[in-house]
Amino acid sequence: MDTMFSPKKPLSHAALKPYSEKVTTAALAVAQIHNGDHVFLGTGCAAPCTLLRELETMPGPPADLELIHFLLVKAFATDAHGQSLTRFHHRTFFVGADLRMAIGEGRVEYVPISIARVPEMIARGRIRVDVAMIQVSLPDAFGYVSLGVSVDIIPAALAAARLVIAEVNPHMPRTMGDTTLHISRIHHLVPVNTAVTELNREPAQEDNVQRIARYIARIIDDGSTLQVGLGYVPHEALQYLTDRKDLGLHCDVITDAILPLLEQGCITGACKTTHPFKIVTSMALGSQRLYDLINLNPLFDFQPMDAVCDPVTIAAQHKMVSIAQAYSIDLTGQVCVDQFDGKFYSGMGAQGEFLHGASRSAGGKPIICMTSTSADGKTSRIRASLAAGEVSTIARTDVHYVVTEHGIAYLFGKSIRERATALIELAHPQFRPELFAQAQAMGYLPATQTLQNMRAYPVEDELTVTLKDGSQVMLRPALSSDAQGVRNLFHHLSKADVYTRFFHHVRGLSDAEVQRLCNVNYETEVAFVAIDGPREDANIVGQACYFVNPSDNLADTAYMVHPDWQGHGLGSALQKCIAQHAARHGVRGFVADVLPGNTRMLRLAQKSPHAVRAERTGDCVHVTQLF
């Protein structure tokens, strides 16, 4: 035994007394690191800050040292601008704000890889680990320490390292799951007595972020199993799920954002397919309140990152929902999650595995979210093509839901034209004309298509109604991307319905005609559709629209209802919906010309709670409703 690790040194923790021959100081421990070593650092809030600080300040440090790590929290000393003062070369799988300048200076190398694949790379020797520096709990009576708040990729690093140095901290929680490590596998123990690093998130107050969060929450069902990425937008969505039941968690990281849902009984895990009634995760980033909760709590099952992020396991979960924040997306659906304007931000994490797994889950929902513009509002995050310095980290073939503050689009299985149309509607109105022109120039949109809607999608106008037979449909504002659905509805109408709707025999709808029924400006032109089924498999079964005449502030109305849904009260629901919308926006009333033989439409008009007047004028009945 090396004499510098003498058992005669005083012990900081009584629990370490049986292992006194391993106990040493941080200075003596890091002195065992050799020139040219590749040193793995424990992750997140379990970073070995004492050891790292000693390594950074030691005189005559090892030459050609490389530090290898995933996400680190408050681990490095920083300058006045918040940039790391590290003097070593780094290889990282996640770019924090403190390392961004160091990347530009060549001191940090970013490895764009799924963190779930890193253990495999370490095991094969493709990522070299000579030394592992970690932080653990005190040992139990059997000599086992806990990896505490971060299991993640640490087991793989420990298996590969020739030298393992551990800070032993009495404040580190003992977490349940595959988190234990026998002290015999640790070469040197460095007692510390510091609070575990906390990561406290300030709630995002921006209206656009809260709007996105509410949109996301609207598409999450009871019984869903959730994975929430590290972005601030996904975390804000959780606060709007307090009315959901039996949610589950299967995620790479948990934060304080889950605490209100636990306290209100929303998270039970009862519907999870694997590990029911358990919260499965790999690391925790949060406050002492979260750390106190996970300490010795069998509700939480901490597992290595590659186990948690196995796409097969993820896909097996009931209604798996994965929420990822992106930096940009192009009009075909290519998504960039780790770069913006050529600079590296964050990393890939295991988002690819979770999105792919959610797409394979029964009832699963892979969700990409982002604000539509950069923070200063000068740059659109929705682009005709990804910018130079941005690459597709999530393939367009794997993109399903996309959410911005201007609405929700579902892209999977859609054509380039349909994708471009839907994404332009998610862009900020000031950038829509330019994006529309670029899309037409690139051949994504036909020259006959026009851009009408320059407003944010009014999610507050969505309404779920129950019909006479107990079935439910959603009534929502129409989008230009509804064109094919409206055309399909038209072709299900009987010849008689087509004639009474259009006043002549029509075999089909041109692009211009169908766009008039859904691509509207929501000022003088308004259209609603009735949707049967979930957003990802929506079937348009009804459509209603009104067009305002500025001269008298009355609006012409028209309706289409699928034959299978006629007689169930859908027409009445559509009439009530658009009438309420029109009244809220100051329209005086509705007018319509109805063929005398169209008794169904005439009865519908008479059901209106407003004053109705019907007058025969030639071959038509002119119906007026005043609000």
Domain assignment present for 106: yes
Do 73 and 116 lie in one domain? The reply is: yes
What angle (nearest 5°) sits at the alpha carbon of residue 222, between those of residues 221 and 224? 75
**Is residue 311 located within the same domain as residue 185?**
no
- Residue 3: both structure tokens together: 């004499």
Residues 253 and 293 in one domain: yes
Sign, Cα dihedral of 176, 178, 184, 188? negative
**Buried b / exposed e across 360-397, counting CB within 10 Å, b at 16+?**
ebebbbbbbbbbbbeeeeeebbbbbebeeebebbbebe
Contacts of 96 (CB under 8 A, 6+ apart): 71, 72, 346
Alpha-helical segments (H) within 302-398:
305-308, 311-316, 351-360
Written as six digits, the tokens of 231 are 């972005």
pLDDT > 90: what percent of the chain? Answer: 71
> What digits encode the pLDDT tens for the residues 469-499?
999 999 999 999 899 999 999 999 988 888 7
* 27 shares a domain with 175: yes
Higher pLDDT, 506 or 570: 570
Using one digit for the tens of pLDDT, what is the confidence trace for 22-79? Answer: 999 999 999 999 999 999 999 999 999 999 999 999 998 999 999 999 988 887 777 7
196 found inside a domain: no
Give residue 211's domain range: 207-441
Is 197 part of any domain? no
CATH of the domain at 559: 3.40.630.30
Q: Which of 138, 158, 191 is the last residue of a domain?
A: 191
Residues 159 and 52 in one domain: yes
Residue ending a domain, choose from 441, 468, 487: 441
pLDDT given for residue 472 in this prediction: 94
Is the same domain home to 13 and 157?
yes
Taking 90 as the threshold, does the pLDDT of residue 384 lie above it? yes
Q: Are 530 and 541 in contact (CB under 8 A)?
A: yes
**Tens digits of per-residue pLDDT, 120-142?**
999 999 999 999 999 999 999 99
455 occurs within a structural domain: no
What pLDDT sits at residue 625? 85
Whether 483 and 419 share a structural domain: no
Report CA Rg, the chain: 30
Domain boundary among the residues 389, 406, 441 is at 441
Residue 86 lies in a domain: yes
CATH number of domain containing 34: 3.40.1080.10
| Mean pLDDT score, 144-159 | 97
- Are 555 and 421 in the same domain? no
DSSP 460: G
User: How many domains is the chain built from?
Assistant: 3
Per mean pLDDT, which range of 210-224, 340-354, 389-403 is the poorest?
Answer: 340-354
Task: Give the lowest-confidence range in 72-76, 371-375, 525-529.
Answer: 72-76
- Residue 320 in domain: yes
Does some domain include residue 451?
no
Query: d(Cα 414, Cα 78) in Å, to the nearest integer?
Result: 47
Note whether 128 and 20 are same-domain residues. yes
So what's the pLDDT on residue 1? 37
Q: Which of 198-212, 348-362, 388-402, 432-446 has the lowest mean pLDDT?
A: 198-212
CA 47 to chain centre: 26
Same domain, yes or no: 432 and 498:
no
Query: Both 361 and 214 in a single domain?
Result: yes
Give the pLDDT of residue 12. 66
Tally: H helices and E strands in the chain: 19, 32
Rounded to an integer, what distance in angstroms lies between the CA atom of residue 522 and that of residue 157? 57
CATH number of the structural domain spanning residue 245: 3.40.1080.20
Check whether residue 430 and residue 476 sit in a common domain. no
In a domain, 421, yes or no: yes
- Least Cα distance to 277 among 310, 309, 300 occurs for 300
pLDDT per residue over 286-307, tens digit each? 999 999 999 999 999 999 999 9
Q: Is the pLDDT of residue 500 over 80?
A: no
